[in-house]
Chains A and B, each alone.
Chain A
Amino acid sequence: MKLTKEDILNINAYLKKKDIKFVDVRFELIDHLVSEYESLDNCPDLDSFLRKRITWCKQVSEAKAKTMHWRYQKDVWKRVLVFMKSPYFYLITFVVAFVYFQLYTILSLELFEKAVLFPFFSVIVFQFIFFFYNHYRYRLKIKLLSANYLFNIFSLPHLLLYMFTPFKEFFLEYPQLFIGYIGFALLLNIAALVEVTSKQKKIKKEYKFLNDVLA
């Protein structure tokens, strides 16, 4: 039995009610459910058909969220590798190291420490503003799983950037290692920022496409 547009909208509403809230997950499930229902010889009542399938629909939704999270984490590392393959990365690292070495020889230790921490705090402030402005705007506006999990990309980079206090004593003893740590944390955060920006464009495009087609 062929399902009408109204039936499909009812399936959509049912899945939404059952907490499968993201369009990019729902549309694939809807297609499967409709295809299966239409292929049945003795079509049961649509409600009971859906009730029997909601468990696996939720499983699929949850599994997709996990996959998305780990895929994003992996993408950050891939971006770091892309940076490292670029000759500019080595050029920039060399220039920064050279500048800091010069500052180290010219400035007093107190001033040098401030010079090291300046880019560190600049990135923190910039990311803080970027994160809150975009995070909530995206989550509220775009009901896609890919958008909802987008800012999870920052989990590890933020952890490194903000959580170095447990190693405070160690870093005070070996300040050179602290510079290396900051450098790595900054690199990871920049990679995450680039990754989020590039994904945002794709997500906007996908959302527009889905909205246009589903309208």
Chain B
Amino acid sequence: MGNSKLYKGSLNTIILKLLEEKGKMYGYEITQKVKELTKGELKITEGALYPALHKLEAEGLLDVEVAKVDNRLRKYYKLTEAGEKETVNRLAELEEFIRSMQNLVNPKWSIE
């Protein structure tokens, strides 16, 4: 991937957006989904993903559900009510940011 720093500030929004679409996901599934959606351009490292998930959980934006899968336990993350509202806000913020960047970088191009 070209520059992972550009994605870094958007990690929480990416997580929230994926959970909004999929309902509930576990850590490894999130890393794979992001890889698949970005065609391998963006690889979320585990060292960044789990702290982000734990912070979002601590902020009350995510709820967890533990289930037994094969011979191990799996922790699923899902959005809380506050998380759903926050996702809408953060996506709007991100869209606004992309629009501003487009105006700066390429004024003729539009995401609409």
Contacts and interface: CB of A to CB of B under 8 A. Distances in A.
Co-complex (A, B): yes
Interface of A: 2-5, 8, 27-28, 30-32, 34-36, 39, 53, 55-57, 59-60, 63-64, 67-68, 70-71, 74, 209-210, 213-214
The 4 closest A-B pairs by CB, nearest first: A63-B51, A71-B58, A56-B47, A35-B28
Sorting the interface of chain B by its residue count into under 10, 10 to 19, 20 to 34 or 35 or more gives: 20 to 34
A5 B71 contact: yes
A78 to B, nearest CB: 10
12 contacts: A3-B71, A27-B66, A31-B28, A32-B27, A34-B72, A59-B51, A60-B50, A60-B51, A63-B51, A67-B54, A213-B66, A213-B68
B58 A70 contact: yes
Interface of A (DSSP majority class): helix
A27 B50 contact: no
A144 B13 CA distance: 29
Given A31-B72, A31-B73, A35-B28, A67 B55 contact: yes
A8 B71 contact: yes
Given A31-B26, A57-B46, 14 more contacts: A27-B73, A30-B72, A31-B28, A31-B73, A31-B74, A32-B27, A36-B28, A53-B46, A55-B47, A56-B45, A63-B50, A64-B51, A67-B55, A213-B68
B69 interface: yes
Contacts of B27: 28, 31-32
Contact of A68 (B58, B69, B75): B58
Nearest to A78: B60
